A and B are shown apart, each in its own frame.
Chain A
């Protein structure tokens, strides 16, 4: 259930979790940069993991700003951009407008699983960001060169200066420490969030209304991932707040989706798909399950697109 807190800093009480994630991540980076004793395996591993979570927060924040204040939301994008070493606003065209449609105005999604085609599936997972990252930057560059997107261009520039400028300053101050304990975690998170596109959509039926995405349904996983495991309902209802995704998934998706696309654990899925399997699974054209029980609200493509534009 969505609860709006009027007159407060945050739009929704659950956003404290996202603020906490970002604060913890920046704290880890700061500790490793400035306190030598913190440059250890635990801090480094945690920083990499929280960098990925920082990218998850970018995803959520770019769908629905965390703060009531628009200015604070824009400023927070700069903070998030530093954490991921890419301008957070890139998500608007690349994720909100293109990826959610699996289509770029007749061209393929910039993050389409078809971008990689190694026979050994682990190589696809490793290589995916090498292709999708440049696709995204080229796509955003083309998207913002069109008339009427000047405001986006300014914000994008502001975030680029914030992210790359602060990182460059840190590199200038202490090159090796920053490279090892700031830049590697930053890049790890940015590249992992790109890989999620492959993990959530590879071998799914992108033309289907319900079987286009793979869901990861573990409770603990979704707590720390701010419900980003429930990907089908997120695609179909982009305007829905992340805190409401679990209930909506149970209500709308579970009765309709191919049960093979419901994965309890991402770790188990990754191990099974990329470590213990040498070949890539063929793309599926699965039959959507017949809804059980009462008739469910159906969200066709056009409606989904409208909701997306509002949510962006």
Chain B
């Protein structure tokens, strides 16, 4: 016979191995972001002074998406990413400290676009556009489009700058519509908080499970909580991992909803496509 105590130790062992692995994964990702944060150096805040692209665009982050008609009402087209690309048209940025940064066309930049800018670019432009797209979206192949989030003259940007205000040769400096230092710091704190919270919850579940009398009412509640925790911490860990993806790698799903022009769009980070 396998005594309940032995099986209990086995079950708690399984719980803790996986809890620690998920916490380790979150801390590992946060470590990468912390290293990136510390390697950023100077990040200048400024505005786009000139852009050589369409409508004075300095650069654009492009996402090829495929949309398919959703099953539920109201009619919706559910988009997912197929490929990311970027175009650097070239231009210049005036930093708040008075320096000007020249960005040549085709520069090898790491472009980070904030959620709101991407949402603006991904919105359904009209009911007619929805109707046109939905015909293709109901086919197996789906409706393919390219969302181009362009950053143009007078828009605020953050530029990773060297001391001499020239783009380093061979480096891949970050140019962002959000403050990369703040974004990285927030994500690092979030990952650490998740790991701490996860370990605390596992500790609470373990404490309850081991409550005397063993296998009594409180202990059974602890066992049930441990099972629920084990099943839920895995998707939670996956969500955290997705939230820690840097903006240039985060996949951005979006939704068009008929009759809700400019609305009904949501964005979230999932998976990575490098």
Whether the Cβ atoms of A147 and B4 lie closer than 8 Å is no
**Chain A residues within an 8 Å CB radius of B142:** 105
Whether the Cβ atoms of A106 and B21 lie closer than 8 Å is no
Tell me which of B52-60, B63-71, B97-105, B117-125 binds A: B63-71
A118→B27 CA distance, assembly (Å):
12
| Contact flags A152-195 to B (C-beta < 8 A → 1, else 0) | 01000000000000000001000110011101100000000000
**Chain A residues within an 8 Å CB radius of B80:** 105-107, 142
Whether the Cβ atoms of B21 and A147 lie closer than 8 Å is no
Given that A150-B71, A176-B215 are known contacts, is A107 also in contact with B271, CB under 8 Å in the complex? yes
A136→B7 CA distance, assembly (Å):
29
**Chain A residues within an 8 Å CB radius of B271:** 107-108, 135
Given that A105-B82, A147-B70, A184-B10 are known contacts, is A135 also in contact with B2, CB under 8 Å in the complex? no
**Chain A residues within an 8 Å CB radius of B235:** 133-134, 137-138
Whether the Cβ atoms of B22 and A130 lie closer than 8 Å is yes
Whether the Cβ atoms of B71 and A180 lie closer than 8 Å is no
Whether the Cβ atoms of A41 and B25 lie closer than 8 Å is no
Whether the Cβ atoms of B71 and A146 lie closer than 8 Å is yes
In the complex, which of the residues A40, A129, A153 contacts B2, with contact meaning CB atoms closer than 8 Å? A40
Residue of A nearest to B71 (CB): A147
List residues of B (64-95) whose CB comes within 8 Å of A's CBs: 64, 66, 68-72, 78, 80-83
**Chain A residues within an 8 Å CB radius of B182:** none
Closest Cβ of chain A to B71, distance in Å, is 5
A147→B239 CA distance, assembly (Å):
26
* Residue B135 CB within 8 A of the other chain: no
Whether the Cβ atoms of B18 and A130 lie closer than 8 Å is yes
* Residue A126 CB within 8 A of the other chain: yes
**Chain B residues within an 8 Å CB radius of A295:** none
Tell me which of B151-159, B189-197, B219-227 binds A: B219-227
Whether the Cβ atoms of B83 and A106 lie closer than 8 Å is yes
**Chain B residues within an 8 Å CB radius of A36:** 1
> Is the interface on chain A under 10, 10 to 19, 20 to 34, or 35 or more residues?
35 or more
In the complex, which of the residues B11, B71, B224 contacts A184, with contact meaning CB atoms closer than 8 Å? B11
Closest Cβ of chain A to B134, distance in Å, is 10
Whether the Cβ atoms of A147 and B138 lie closer than 8 Å is yes
* Residue B165 CB within 8 A of the other chain: no
Given that A39-B1, A39-B2, A175-B224 are known contacts, is A149 also in contact with B71, CB under 8 Å in the complex? yes
Whether the Cβ atoms of A184 and B2 lie closer than 8 Å is no
Residue of A nearest to B230 (CB): A187
Whether the Cβ atoms of B138 and A179 lie closer than 8 Å is no
Closest Cβ of chain B to A113, distance in Å, is 14
| Contact flags B8-37 to A (C-beta < 8 A → 1, else 0) | 101100100110011011001000000000
Whether the Cβ atoms of B223 and A134 lie closer than 8 Å is no
Whether the Cβ atoms of B223 and A175 lie closer than 8 Å is yes
| Contact flags B237-262 to A (C-beta < 8 A → 1, else 0) | 11101000000000100000000000
Q: Across the A-B interface, give the 4 residue pairs with the lowest CB-CB distance, nearest first.
A: A106-B82, A134-B238, A180-B7, A134-B235
Contacts A127-B22, A142-B80 known; 20 new A-B pairs at CB < 8 A: A37-B1, A40-B1, A107-B82, A118-B24, A123-B24, A127-B25, A129-B234, A131-B25, A131-B234, A134-B235, A134-B239, A135-B271, A138-B270, A145-B70, A146-B68, A147-B69, A176-B4, A179-B223, A180-B7, A184-B14
What are 12 A-B contacts defined by CB distance under 8 Å?
A39-B1, A44-B2, A106-B66, A126-B18, A126-B21, A133-B235, A137-B235, A146-B70, A146-B71, A153-B71, A175-B224, A176-B220
**Residues of B near any A CB (own CB < 8 A):** 1-2, 4, 7-8, 10-11, 14, 17-18, 21-22, 24-25, 28, 64, 66, 68-72, 78, 80-83, 138, 142, 215, 220, 223-224, 227, 234-235, 237-239, 241, 251, 270-273
